[in-house]
Structure 1
Amino acid sequence: MTAFEADFPGATVLPSPNHGERRDGQTPDMIILHYTGMPTAEAALGWLRNVESEVSSHYFVDEAGVISQLVPEERRAWHAGKSLWAGRTDINSCSIGIEIANPGHPGGLPDFPERQIAAVVELCRNCVERWQIAPERVLGHSDIAPVRKVDPGENFPWNKLHDSGVGHWVEPSSITGGRFFQRGDEGQPVEALQSMLSFYGYGIEITGRFCEKTEGVVAAFQRHFRPALVDGIADFSTIDTLHRLLTSLPRYTS
């Protein structure tokens, strides 16, 4: 493991051997946030630096807000796995991966400490500024790998990041009654929902059938943007929140 100079001034360098060249000359235009999903920060950090794990991230943020850099930003860290966003499949080559120490769903999904989130905000703001990353391209692992991944989880405070200038967010619509779509439904309204999710960036086929994959993508969307209820059912709150996110995108109105 070769030492290098930190890209983020506040980071301690703890090199990981798990990285490679970014492919096709790509540079970071996304930030992907993860939780570690392991019982302790020490175990997670050790795993990310173990050559046998074949996983890594550019940064690691512990519960106290201490930031470590494991892989230089110019290199391709191995954090996204099989994933898709806006038609791109090699997310590792175009992203910065940030692992946040938290036991996640296996550990009861505890809250993220305020000082840890403050450190994540500071790190993200620095990366966004240096790489000119668009707000809507600051995402969770669950966004780019629905069904397969659920981190950083529905307890992650995306709204706090947005209030600090990081990420894309609108206040979720209230959960009320009314018409909804769920697995087994078919027709033009389902096709329209799939089209909206695809336009935002989610990897979903537009078939007009509310299949298991569609349910998983809806749940991933809810986990990020409507976390009060993550059930994979496209109710009014989910669809309206998605519509307002879309209409606030520059590419939607241009």
Structure 2
Amino acid sequence: MTMNPLRLALVSLLSAGLVACTTAPLRNPMAQWQGSSNFDARRARAVVLHHTSMDSVDEALRTLKSVNSGGPVSAHYLIGEDGRVLQLVAEDARAWHAGGSRWAGIDDLNSSSIGIELDNDGSEPFSEAQLQSLLRLLADISARLRIQPRFVIGHGDIAPTRKDDPSTQFPWQRLAQAGFGLWPRDAPAPPPAGFDPWLAMAVIGYDLRDPTAAMRAFHRHYRGSSAETWQPGDFEILHDLQSQVLELPATR
């Protein structure tokens, strides 16, 4: 049967529309789109949190959308101090936010993570509006991309020799209580005889090529300090965190 010209034209238009829909970048309706050209393709397994170390969200936005002195950088999301959520890169694309990094055996975190920048200069508390927006965004991303809670991590965790964000003021415990990230349970039990804290660090995910930097990152995340030697209570925390990871079901 021969299709008439009008019907053929309509089918062609519909087909083109379907193709366009399937290839359009994924944009989150929770955020205002502010497209950045600094990305390429990747698949997400983790969420990496940053603070911008800048004075305003507008300054951070300019940097994340342009070339800066250290080379182009970007993130998937930027959350202002007022709670405004901006999306710069589609989730199915590779933003340039992690740099040289490693976590739980993953070497290229740019290719396997969502980057979220928080408007914060690194010395101030994170605002309540900002944290509320972050929790809502994490709930949305984690549910859709099926990201395990233990893979919500900080830039300083994955690049301990280079980065220290988010700062010691970031409320990791609050995130964990909402289901995002790993946190020790109340009153963790003493570790058994022969407990190896460095093995526990590796099980949690830390890169131990620079042990001092890894220890500093652990303390920043779990103790709110930058100590470079073991502190009282560290082994109990490490043993509990290691146990939590080992209790998780095996995943691909």
Specify the TM-score bucket, using the shorter chain as the normaliser: 0.7 to 0.9
2:145 corresponds in structure 1 to 131
Range with bigger deviation, 84-93 or 190-199 = 190-199
Partner Cα separation in structure 2 for residue 165 and residue 194 of structure 1? 26
Which stretches of structure 1, 4 residues or longer, exceed 4 Å deviation after superposition? 171-174, 250-254
**Which consecutive residues of structure 1, in runs of 5 or more, have no partner in the other structure?**
175-188, 206-212
2:46 counterpart letter in structure 1: M
2:237 corresponds in structure 1 to 241
Partner Cα separation in structure 2 for residue 145 and residue 7 of structure 1? 28
C-alpha deviations, 1:147-181, integer Å up to 9, x for none?
2100001100111112222222125879xxxxxxx
Q: Is this contact kept in 2: 1:246–1:252, CA < 8 A? A: no
Measure how far apart 1:66 and its partner are: 0.3
Counterpart secondary structure, 2:226: coil
Counterpart secondary structure, 1:124: helix
2:152 counterpart letter in structure 1: V
1:195 counterpart letter in structure 2: L
Q: What TM-score comes out, normalization by structure 2 length?
A: 0.81
Measure how far apart 1:215 and its partner are: 1.6
Counterpart secondary structure, 1:246: helix
Q: Where in structure 2 are the equivalents of 1:1-254 lying within 5 Å?
A: 7-22=27-42, 27-52=43-68, 53-104=71-122, 109-170=123-184, 192-205=196-209, 213-227=210-224, 229-251=225-247
Change (3 A) 1:31 1:253: closer
C-alpha deviations, 1:209-246, integer Å up to 9, x for none?
xxxx212111101111111x321211231221111111
Q: What TM-score comes out, normalization by structure 1 length?
A: 0.81
Measure how far apart 1:6 and its partner are: 5.7
Change (3 A) 1:190 1:223: farther
Counterpart secondary structure, 1:46: helix
**Which consecutive residues of structure 2, in runs of 5 or more, have no partner in the other structure?**
1-23
Change (3 A) 1:144 1:91: same
Partner Cα separation in structure 1 for residue 179 and residue 200 of structure 2? 25
Counterpart secondary structure, 1:99: strand
Counterpart secondary structure, 1:32: strand
Partner Cα separation in structure 2 for residue 103 and residue 132 of structure 1? 31
1:199 counterpart letter in structure 2: V
C-alpha deviations, 1:183-214, integer Å up to 9, x for none?
xxxxxx99922221111111114xxxxxxx21
Partner Cα separation in structure 1 for residue 109 and residue 173 of structure 2? 24
Q: Is this contact kept in 1: 2:36–2:74, CA < 8 A? A: yes
1:210 corresponds in structure 2 to none
1:202 counterpart letter in structure 2: Y
Change (3 A) 1:90 1:234: same
Measure how far apart 1:5 and its partner are: 5.9
How well do the aligned residues superpose, as a CA RMSD in angstroms? 2.2
Q: What fraction of aligned residue pairs are identical, expressed as a percent? A: 35
2:117 counterpart letter in structure 1: E
Q: Is this contact kept in 1: 2:203–2:245, CA < 8 A? A: no
